[in-house]
Amino acid sequence: MTCENCGKREAKVHYTAWENNQPKELHVCQECAVEKGIVVTASDPNKFSIQEPVIALIGDTAIGARVGKIQCSSCGLLYSTFRETGRLGCATCYESFVEPLQPLLRRIHGNLSHVGRSPVSQHGADQRRDQLRTLQAEMESAIHRENFERAAELRDRIHRLRDELTTGQDAPGQDAPEGAGEGS
């Protein structure tokens, strides 16, 4: 198949664009995809992502009509509606639609497990270790850009986290609120 944009190169990117509220299948080459703002990763031509909306990634694949009828147990959103709008209805949608969402998320992000910050309420022992690494990296970055106030604040949080890890406290809610007028 040749590219529908330039008509010269081989079409390697296949996506559904959203034009005038109608889905439209497009097949373009990598160069034109870049030009049109659809980003293609060179390492894996099958993996791509578009800025928004994400409808492109939702419609195709072999998931079929069955999943369209899946309904969120909390907000009642139909998966078929999500296909149209590209927007989920609530946090529980991530649970209710887990089957079709997994491949979608993998195609968008290439990865399925979160790395990085997390809310204080989630900081269990394992999480605290991850959080410690995140905070240390953030502190080094703060020092690097000479924001010593922020670095000191992060240092205090690191100390508190370390203390909690060594004393074995990991119940949610036991995190000392950082920076709230305590510590040095």
Partner 1 sequence: MMTLDALVKTPSTWLDGTGPHAGIVLSSRLRLARNLARIPFPARARKDQLTGVIQSVIGASRGADSLSGAGFFGMNDLNELDRTFLVERHLISRDLSQGSRARGVLVAPGESLSIMVNEEDHLRLQAVASGFDLAEVWGRVSDLDDRLDKELDYAYRTDYGYLTACPTNVGTGMRASVLIHLPALVLTKQLKKVLQGVAAVGLAVRGFYGEGTDVMGNFFQVSNQQTLGRAELEILENLERITNQLIEFEGKAREAMLRTARLQVEDKVWRAYGTLRYSRSIASQEVISLSSAVRFGLAMGIEGLTDLMTLNEIMVYSQPAHIQELAGRPLEPSERNIFRADMIRRRLANGR
* Residue ranges in contact with partner 1 by CB under 8 A: 30-31, 34-37, 39-43, 49, 51-54, 74-75, 77, 85-91, 94, 101, 104-105, 108-122, 127, 134, 137-138, 141-142, 144-145, 147, 150, 153, 177-180
**Shortest CB 51 distance to partner 1, Å:** 6
Between 165 and 176, name the residue whose CB sits nearer to partner 1. 176
**Shortest CB 118 distance to partner 1, Å:** 6
Between 27 and 124, name the residue whose CB sits nearer to partner 1. 124
**Shortest CB 158 distance to partner 1, Å:** 13
Residue 36, classed as helix, strand or coil, is coil
Between 2 and 85, name the residue whose CB sits nearer to partner 1. 85
Quick one: which H or E segment has residue 153?
A: helix 148-167
**Shortest CB 124 distance to partner 1, Å:** 9
Taking 3-state DSSP, the helix, strand and coil percentages for the chain, each rounded to the nearest 5, stand at 45, 10, 45
Contact between 80 and 26 under an 8 Å Cβ cutoff? The reply is no
Residues 6 or more apart in contact with residue 8 via CB below 8 angstroms: 2, 29
Round to whole Å and give the CA distance between 183 and 149. 14
Please give the structure tokens belonging to residue 9: 């190169």
List, in sequence order, every residue forming a beta bridge with 49; answer none if it has no partner.
Answer: 39
For the chain, what is the total number of helices (H) and then of strands (E)? Answer: 7, 4
Between 4 and 52, name the residue whose CB sits nearer to partner 1. 52
Between 27 and 118, name the residue whose CB sits nearer to partner 1. 118
Smallest CA-to-CA distance from 101 within 116, 115, 86 is with 86
**Shortest CB 146 distance to partner 1, Å:** 10
